Amino acid sequence: MAMTITRRRFVHASVALAGLATVVPIGSVLAAEENNKWVSGEGTPDTVMGPFYPLLSKPANPGTDLTMVKGGTAHAQGQLLYLMGQVLDVKGTPIKGVQVEIWQANAAGRYDHPSDGNPAPLDPNFQGYGVAVTDADGRYRFKTIKPGSYPVTRGWVRPPHIHYELTGRKDKHVTQIWFPDEPLNAQDRLFDRLSPAARQKLTCKIEAPAGSMEPDSKVALFNIVLTNG
């Protein structure tokens, strides 16, 4: 039986997100609704972790702001991005206390990882990894930059994407998000092998900034459904 999260719950969640130093516009409510259609019993599709998870180079207490390294004064290069959403179960109930990890390439498409042979430059001011814990309404939020694309093999260039690992009370879930209207999405071998429904669920929604956000920033909305929580 098809089920979508109710408008009332999303309005409540969007108002609650104002407590995260921003006011989410009504367009975000509608975008979040569209982004969270699922069939009862199904969670957000999983994807491969990839080779660049920072297993040996995790910064201590990384926090949620990837645009500056700890102790630094300069900001990372690239399009400023506020990445936010909710973690819910398959009934649409927000899940508190889920650890949300993200990692990504910098604006030039380079990971700060010893296995990344991409000749693109590193950004010394970009942390590349962050950790948030969902609040009582299942909300999380990061401040980051839009990652760049990068070559994998001849004929395959990965489009901008961000990796996620979620650790809940019962579930551990690995996935990633793509950005809308990216020409390279159609050529991405990982995106291409997903079903059309899965592609929709794993494509974030982009909104204009609001409240105290920088006027040249963007908001990326991505809500995640865990099967068991």
Q: Tell me which residues are annotated as active site.
A: 111, 150, 158, 161, 163
d(CA 208, CA 216): 9
Q: Amino acid identity of 106?
A: N
**Sign of CA pseudo-dihedral 20, 26, 29, 32:** negative
Query: Residue 169 has what DSSP assignment?
Result: S
The C-alpha atoms of residue 21 and residue 12 are separated, in whole angstroms, by 16
Tokens of 20: 């995260």
Rounded distance, CA 87 to CA 222, Å? 9
Tokens of 222: 């991505």
Residue 63, beta-bridge partner list: none
Closest listed residue to residue 28, CA positions, set 8, 11, 5: 11
Query: Which secondary structure element, helix H or strand E, spans residue 68, and what is its range?
Result: none
